[in-house]
Amino acid sequence: MTSHLDRLNPAQRQAVETLDGPLLVLAGAGTGKTRVLTTRFAHILLTGRAYPSQVLAVTFTNKAAREMRERVAAILGRPAEGLWLGTFHALCARMLRRHADLVGLTSGFTILDGDDQQRLLKQVMEADRIDTKRWAPPAMMAVIQRWKDRGLTPARVTPAEDTDFANGRARAIYTAYQDRLRALNAADFGDLMLHMTEILRGHPDVLAQYHRMFRYILVDEYQDTNLVQYLWLRLLAQGHRNICCVGDDDQSIYSWRGAEVENILRFEKDFEGAHIVRLEANYRSTAPILAAASALIAHNEGRLGKTLHPGRADAQQGEKVQVIGVWDSDEEARMVGDRIEALRRDGNALAEMAVLVRAGFQTRAFEERLITLGIPYRVVGGLRFYERAEIRDAIAYMRATVQPADDLAFERIVNVPRRGIGEVALRAMHDTARTDQIPLSLAAAKLVQTGGVKGKVKESLGTLLQGFLRWREMLERDGHVVTVATLLDESGYTEMWKQDKSPEAPGRLENLKELVRALADFETLGGFLDHVSLVMENEENAEGDRVSLMTLHGAKGLEFDTVFLPGWEEGLFPSQRTMDESGAKGLEEERRLAYVGLTRARRRAIVSHAANRRIYANWQSSIPSRFLEELPEEQVELAGSAALARDARVAALPSFGGQFPLVARRTRTVEAWEQPARPARSDAIPVGARVFHQKFGYGTVTAAEDEKLDISFDKAGAKRVLDRFVERA
């Protein structure tokens, strides 16, 4: 009967066997959280405390639900039938089918996807004569979903919760939108939880029914719950009070999507007499990594507190956390690439290595370096840099500027951003192009001149074509970096994403700025476009042994032998935008993000920072992240210029004591085409020498003039580059 308990440590066993009353399991990273949750589920069934249908088990992802179902079945030795196991939304959808009439729906209601929601909301706003160009439906939808995440029906939106969107008409739009959903017998994703919470609030008989039904409630990742999820759980737990929440307040990193870390912090107040079990034995990482992560997170004030320690005897020793200071972001990418190569030569699998970045735009430098070295990689949770829609759009603008005959590029962006150029106008362009055997852009120009298109279409198309003429002239006069930055602004493309209120928009803007920054590495726009083509051609199958590139947010729940954590500088990490928006609370979440990054590593964690980083097409002198100062010196090994950087960081301290201010301090900013002055090269590179270039690979010097070298590259052909950009092979 107790064989399923034999593999548990004392704290884990206590969490499984504490079956009466509310229980909070504070499960640190790598402490066996999933094992505890599934074993507790199985233990309840094996001891006869409840039937499978009397246990409500809630997860955040379908994957986690599937894994829990399989593990419980493995412990029981048979499939468990009749389980109430799934995600918050899946379980609420199941409940709502039973009680749909209580919110004005029928049991066969439709659940709308994102596109349908946007279309419906736009119809509602237009019917109310709201200018959807000024007040974008996606922005209004974000407001509505935020209200739903907080458990607010239109009637519950107070003046304090209201917004001035659409001149104070947001609440009225919300009301009309909900009425329209009911008329269509439909619910959106947010309604699933909102409707069920309202039913449980307003119908005691329904609530009593579920109290009788569910003897035990199990909740995974409780620190990621939003307010409506919290309310739903509290209502259901008022019956038997046997609620077990598993989570880690130190890994609460999703406030941007509505998660409230306060939910887990106030568990003891919400559930009087609650037991708290701390899982602190980590079975993933070595002692130095755990000590560094624990010391870092200890600087957060709003936490319940726990200290991780190795749970395995072989993890008591290990490599210290390496903190490497480099000259600039290009050198950082080279350092990471070289270390990955060295680890691979020593027999380490690429699949056990990961580069975890704070922002998506940072992946580009590492992608290009890995391509140059021929190291296979994958971008987890996102597209490769040059495959992202906004990057492909921007490159299409560049192609159409350089090559007016590029019909594919012109067609892609002729109505991006929207210029009112629909199917009819596009068909007319294609017909003219085929008849006259001319490129699509010339066909468009002809239609504008001859009156083949009229009104707003003629005006907007004419403006775009004039823009291309102007940008081509600018390309010759001002260079490709300035030209591309200008065309993205003048075309309205950058403004389109600035006006977009979706959660992805800020990241897309960052990617566009990183693209402009990348241009500075190339002498011409044509050279850059050739490079992009080669990079895209280098695409391999996603299977096999390869390095993982991802954001820190995407890495939660994963683990690797070796983790690289680049870009630990003020303003980048912690993110200045987060601190500007959320102040001290935002800083604490950034620190939790750093904690998550460190605890992904099993054997080695390599943190790096650059003295100069090219961000948004400009060079910026950077100072190391305040988080580096919070790592314990005895668990850290400094390399590169990190020791000097630490001294500089101390010198930058304000005259008063205490924490660093929430404002990142930056020094001189120079233009993208200026390279920060490096220490002078002590030896000139002679003709005939073999060299290596980050972008062009290996080559042989054929001529030298001062700092300029003519190099015949093995794959890229003849190029002229500055000697500071190459190193001897």
Give one DSSP letter per residue of 17-69, joined into a string: H--SS-EEEEE-TTS-HHHHHHHHHHHHHHTTS--GGGEEEEESSHHHHHHHH
DSSP SS3 for 567: coil
Is residue 221 flagged as an active site residue? yes
- What is the pLDDT averaged over residues 549-562? 92
Degrees (nearest 5) of the Cα angle 562, 565, 567? 160
Interval 279-323: pLDDT, tens: 999 999 999 999 999 999 999 997 888 889 998 888 888 999 999
With 70 as the cut, is the pLDDT of residue 24 above it?
Answer: yes
For residues 573 and 590, give the distance between their C-alpha atoms in angstroms, rounded to a whole number: 7
pLDDT in tens, 230-277: 999 999 999 889 999 999 999 998 888 888 999 999 999 999 999 999
Distance CA 106, CA 88 (A): 21
Apex CA 625: angle with CA 624 and CA 627, to 5°?
135
Q: With contact defined as beta carbons under 8 Å apart, do 531 and 337 qualify?
A: no
Distance in angstroms (rounded) separating the CA atoms of residues 590 and 582:
11
Joined tokens for residue 379: 């971008």
Residue of higher predicted confidence among 649 and 85: 85
Asked if residue 172 has pLDDT above 50, the reply is yes
What is the rounded distance in angstroms from the CA atom of residue 122 to the CA atom of residue 125?
5
Predicted pLDDT of residue 229: 96
Q: Which 8-state DSSP code applies to residue 514? A: H
Contact 395, 529 (CB under 8 A): yes
Backbone angles phi, psi at 598, to 5 degrees: -65, -40
- 421 in Cβ contact with 457 (< 8 Å): yes
Tell me if residue 609 falls in helix, strand or coil.
strand
Q: What is the predicted pLDDT for the residue at 41?
A: 92
pTM over 0.85: no
Specify the pLDDT at position 661: 44
Contact in structure between 321 and 289 (CB atoms under 8 Å): yes
User: Is 684 exposed, middle or buried, given 0-12, 13-18 or 19+ CB atoms closer than 10 A?
Assistant: exposed
According to the model, what pLDDT value does residue 230 have? 96
Residue whose structure tokens are 């001290």: 584
According to DSSP, the residues that pair with 276 across neighbouring strands are 24
Longest Cα separation, the chain: 88
Q: In 3D, which of 398, 420, 394 has the Cα closest to residue 497? A: 394
Q: What amino acid occupies position 122?
A: K
CA 648 to chain centre: 31
C-alpha angle 207-208-212 in degrees, rounded to nearest 5:
120
Structure tokens at 233: 């759980």
For 46-82, the pLDDT digits (tens) are: 999 999 899 999 998 888 888 888 888 888 888 878 8
Q: What is the mean pLDDT of residues 89-105?
A: 93
Percentage of the chain beyond pLDDT 90 is: 45
pLDDT of residue 147: 95
Q: Is 63 a catalytic residue?
A: no
- By the 8 A CB rule, do 132 and 88 touch? no
Q: Please state, in angstroms and rounded to a whole number, the distance separating the CA atoms of residues 653 and 655.
A: 6
pLDDT at 535: 64
Strand, coil or helix: what is 673?
coil
- Structure letter (DSSP) for residue 715: T
User: How far apart, in whole angstroms, are the C-alpha atoms of residue 223 and residue 27?
Assistant: 11
DSSP 571: B
Q: What is each CA distance from 73 to 80, 83, 507, 673, 722, in whole angstroms?
A: 6, 11, 41, 61, 64
φ and ψ at 538, to 5 degrees? -75, 0
Q: What is the pLDDT of residue 441?
A: 87
| 3-state DSSP assignment of residue 545 | coil
Q: Please tell me which residue in 38, 39, 251, 635 is annotated as part of the active site.
A: 251
- Confidence tier at 660 by pLDDT (50, 70, 90): very low
pLDDT at residue 655, rounded to an integer: 36
Rg (CA), the chain: 29
Q: How confident is the model at residue 99, as a pLDDT?
A: 95
Answer whether 625's CB lies under 8 Å from 579's CB.
no
**pLDDT at position 145 over 80:** yes
Residue 679, pLDDT above cutoff 70? no
In this prediction, residue 360 carries a pLDDT of: 85
pLDDT at 544 exceeding the cut of 80: no
Burial of 464 (C-beta count, 10 Å sphere; 0-12/13-18/19+):
buried
> How far apart, in whole angstroms, are the C-alpha atoms of residue 610 and residue 571?
12
The stretches of 351-492 forming alpha helices (DSSP H) are 363-373, 389-402, 407-413, 423-436, 440-450, 455-478, 480-490
pLDDT digits (tens, 9 = 90+) for 425-453: 888 888 888 888 888 889 888 888 888 88
Nearest CA among 278, 305, 312, 252 for reference residue 36: 278
DSSP assigned state of 154: G
33 catalytic residue (yes or no): yes
Catalytic residue selected from 188, 191, 198, 221? 221
Q: Tell me, what amino acid is at 185? A: N
Q: Judge whether residue 174 has pLDDT over 60.
A: yes
Q: Please say if the pLDDT value at position 347 is more than 50.
A: yes
Q: How confident is the model at residue 542 (pLDDT cuts 50, 70, 90)?
A: very low
Which pLDDT belongs to residue 2?
A: 63
Report pLDDT for 645.
46
Catalytic: which of 35, 600, 613, 719? 600
Q: Locate tokens 């970045």: which residue?
A: 357
* Catalytic, out of 33, 35, 215, 384: 33
Band the pLDDT of 403: cuts 50, 70, 90. Answer: confident
pLDDT of the residue at 379 = 85
Show the 3-state SS of 407-427: HHHHHHHCCCCCCCCCHHHHH
Local confidence band at 676 (pLDDT 50, 70, 90 cut-offs): very low
d(CA 545, CA 135): 47
Best CA proximity match to 538, nearest among 697, 334, 367: 367
Residue 458, pLDDT above cutoff 50: yes
Backbone angles phi, psi at 51, to 5 degrees: -80, 160
Q: Tokens 């707003």 correspond to what residue?
A: 456
Instruction: Quote the CA–CA distance of 99 and 91 in Å, as a whole number.
Output: 13
State residue 674's pLDDT score: 40
- The whole-number pLDDT of residue 666 equals 38
pLDDT value of residue 713: 85
* Residue 677 scores a pLDDT above 80: no
- pLDDT bin (cut points 50, 70, 90) of residue 717 is confident
pLDDT at 338 over 60: yes
Distances (CA, A) of 504 to 286, 360, 497, 501, 626: 36, 11, 9, 8, 27
Instruction: Say how far apart CA 248 and CA 28 lie, in whole Å.
Output: 6
pLDDT, residue 300, reads 94
Burial of 359 (0-12, 13-18, 19+ CB in 10 A): buried
Q: What is the average pLDDT score of the chain?
A: 86
Catalytic member of 188, 191, 220, 249: 220
CB 340 within 8 A of CB 366: no
CB-CB contact of 221 with 59 (8 Å): yes
* C-beta of residue 122 within 8 angstroms of C-beta of residue 132: yes
Of the listed ranges 315-324, 335-344, 472-481, 587-596, the least confidently predicted one is 472-481
CA distance 522 to 531: 9
Which among 375, 358, 343 is positioned nearest to 561, based on CA atoms? Answer: 343
Catalytic (active site) residue 251: yes
pLDDT over threshold 90, residue 168:
no
Q: What is the mean pLDDT of residues 158-179?
A: 89
Asked whether 239 and 159 are in contact (CB, 8 A), the reply is no
- Name the nearest CA neighbour of 361 among 237, 256, 509: 509
User: Residue 653: what pLDDT?
Assistant: 45
Are 290 and 601 spatial neighbours (Cβ–Cβ below 8 Å)? no
| Residue 74 or 535, more confident | 74
Q: Which two tokens stand for residue 316?
A: 């008591």
Catalytic site includes residue 600: yes
